[in-house]
Structure 1
Amino acid sequence: IPIEVAHGGQSYHPDGELHQDVIGEALAMELKREEAMEYLKTPIAEMSEETLRILINEDSESEEEEDIETMETDVYRKKQEKIPRNVRNRRRRHAALQLVYLERKKQKQFLSTVHFVKSAHKKVRKDELTNQEKRDQIQTWKDEEIAQNPLGHGMASKLSEKDPIRFPSLPVALTSELNGSKDNGNVNVPLRRVKPKGNLLEERVYSLRDRKLLTDVKKSRRVYVQGKKKTRTRGKGENYMLV
């Protein structure tokens, strides 16, 4: 299970370059969130009058065509005459011969498949070997990708792309909050002056949810107590329950 690894720039004693990288990543996530919010606020464009007129005309034409088709079928049924007995008998004999022909055709097809079982078995074995080679190649590519991009790195940006609105902000201290002394590009801040970032409980809940150790709790809005209906106030936020 991939667990998010904290970036070096998020520590209370960060490197200058790493700290700027994390700030840039957090800024990009917030910009994506603002773009998503603006997209949700933009109203949907309405149809023009010409488009509505064309759609109405198409609906009326389709209704007229359906009426004409129903009239033609009614006229055809009225004009249909009674079929003579000899014609009906001829059709029955033809249908019986057709069934016999289809049955013989099925038997021939079955015999032909039996004769080619060995060749089909060889082909299946060949396909299995080919598929196994493909699976091995795909697994090799996955291993190489994991080696280049280890699990837990860059999870914040990936999750923000999936849901930029609900994803929490990246916890990182601003440059103005790191007012300590500098030593070889590193910022030294006394531990007592460090301002905590993020919410430990919220991060723990997200971690448990990602590892499928929590399930959503759906509460009913109405509760009946001794035949009386009681309205329950709707809670805010998300509720979870341990598995």
Structure 2
Amino acid sequence: MTQNHVSGMETSAVSVLKRAVELDQSGRFQESLVCYQEGIQLLMDVLKAVKDDSKRGHYRQKIKGYMDRAEQIKAHVSQLKEDGKYHEQVKISEDATGYSYEALFKPYISSSLTEVWVEDPYIRHIHQLYNFVRFCEMLMKASCKVKSIHLLTSQDEPDGSQQTSALSELRESLGAHGVTLDLQFSSTIHDREIRFDNGWIIKIGRGLDYFKRPKGRFSLGYCDYDLRQCQETSVDIFHTKHTKTL
């Protein structure tokens, strides 16, 4: 392994761990835990590649410090979850980027996740339907084995044919991948909430529709939602032991 490659890995580790510390200090513990784990792995890769004993000792010490902090956070989060008191808030500012569904939901997706409930009144218009497709794609690519997705939304009035057609097509597509899409409609639904059967509840003020319109079809952010500008909204994350039904 070249010196440049080792240096690149170290730079990546420093960047990820810096983010972990920032999240840790702002009380976003579950997110910080993901960053600590990624950063520690990168540092361990650096340690394997370094031959100098004094440098190896330095890296070992750093790794131990970060591992100790990660363990403390794990214990703290476990206690909060046990007490039913876990709550953190992410504020997405106007025009912010870096908040794709992958980025936002990753800390709360685990291998035990098999069932998802989405309550969102605005999965009606074409861009909102695309958002829901993106959300489903994110779940399909994540490190979990989702078997069923439940959507409760409102029907597009007066012409619901586009909505019906789109959701039917998505249901068929998910079915081909072994995932059931359960659709229900409500004319009184107002709240927006996403529940995972591993206990996490994510409430986004604007639901899944927090992205701004891209400036054009050939503008950055049209395909990659991490580069898409956002509208201001708040995301509240809770944990409960009872998420089997909405």
What TM-score do the two structures reach when normalised by structure 1?
A: 0.20
Of structures 1 and 2, the one scoring higher in RCO (CA 8 A, sep 6+) is: 1
Where is the helix percentage greater, Structure 1 or Structure 2? 1
What TM-score does the superposition give when structure 2 sets the normalisation length? 0.20
Higher Cα Rg: structure 1 or 2? 1
Decide which structure has greater strand share: 2
